[in-house]
Amino acid sequence: MLDIRDVSWSVPAARLLDGVTCSAPRGTLVGLLGPNGSGKTTLLRVVAGLIAPGSGTVTVAGDDVAGLPRATAARRIALLAQYAETDLDLTALDVVLLGRTPHRRSRWSDTDTDRAAAADALDRVDMTGYAHRRWQTLSGGERQRVQLARALAQEPQLLLLDEPTNHLDIGHQLQLLGLVRRSAVTTLAALHDLNLAAMFCDLVVVLHHGRVVTSGPPADVLTPALLADVYAVDADVTVHDGRPVITYRAPAA
């Protein structure tokens, strides 16, 4: 469904993505892993069509993202950015309704379908009671859930999430990733918490210095050797319900 083929992207001083190839079959949740600065956000921005790859291709449902009209790309792909903010005086419901913009014929009026999709999305992230709260009064975790509702209300074919569990307590982290996994939407999610990735992802892709080091099912990828090589951490990995569970060891003083 999502196919990333040999994608590179550079700034004058550095190559930030270097021959990245990976894919997300329809309906899967794929975790994009890697240390700080490894290129996760840059890759999500390329896949979203916000920056054009220097070389290589990204296709979604067979169409090259770089060639899609902006309006079509906006309907098909939703990006939940790492720091999704707004200075506008909006309610939570207004923010979620922004997700409906690519579907609207008229720019100014919401249809019953738009309002139903927004209400459903708020319900799915457990934020129905906050619909009329001003954005600026929401906590970090509440904003994160409203932004996910905006992305869900967009009803995209492809959902891109940049560290979606940032700011969330453990209950809402589990709820959010469970919700994403149960949804039929193909999802590529940059994640730092490797145990959450192991629990919820169908596949993981590990980036390091802009390159794919390895990819596959979490149990195949998240080995002590990989954690030592890529994250420079010492860890034990056991298996619970067929999923790896990582226990980190404190670095020697």
Ligand X SMILES: Nc1ncnc2c1ncn2[C@@H]1O[C@H](COP(=O)(O)OP(=O)(O)OP(=O)(O)O)[C@@H](O)[C@H]1O
Binding site for ligand X (CB under 6 A): 11, 16, 34, 36-42
Minimum Å gap between C-beta 74 and ligand X is 22
Q: Which of 42/144 has CB closer to ligand X?
A: 42
Question: Minimal distance in Å, beta carbon 33 to ligand X?
Answer: 9
Q: Which is nearer to ligand X, 42 or 186 (CB)?
A: 42
Work out the number of other CB atoms within 10 angstroms of the CB of residue 154.
Answer: 24
CB of 39 to ligand X, least distance (A): 4
Q: How far is the CB of 220 from ligand X (least distance, A)?
A: 22
Q: Can you read off the two tokens belonging to residue 19?
A: 């021959």
Question: Which is nearer to ligand X, 38 or 215 (by Cβ)?
Answer: 38
In sequence order, the 6+-apart residues with CB closer than 8 A to the CB of 92 are: 122, 127, 130, 131, 132, 133, 135, 138, 142, 146, 149
Give the SS3 label for residue 236.
strand
**Max Cα–Cα distance, the chain, nearest Å:** 62
- Nearer to ligand X by Cβ, of 42 and 154: the residue is 42
CB 233 within 8 A of CB 225: no
Rounded Cα distance between 94 and 26, Å, is: 30
Nearest distance from C-beta of residue 47 to ligand X, angstroms: 12
Beta bridge partners of 78: 159
- Residue whose tokens read 């329809």: 26
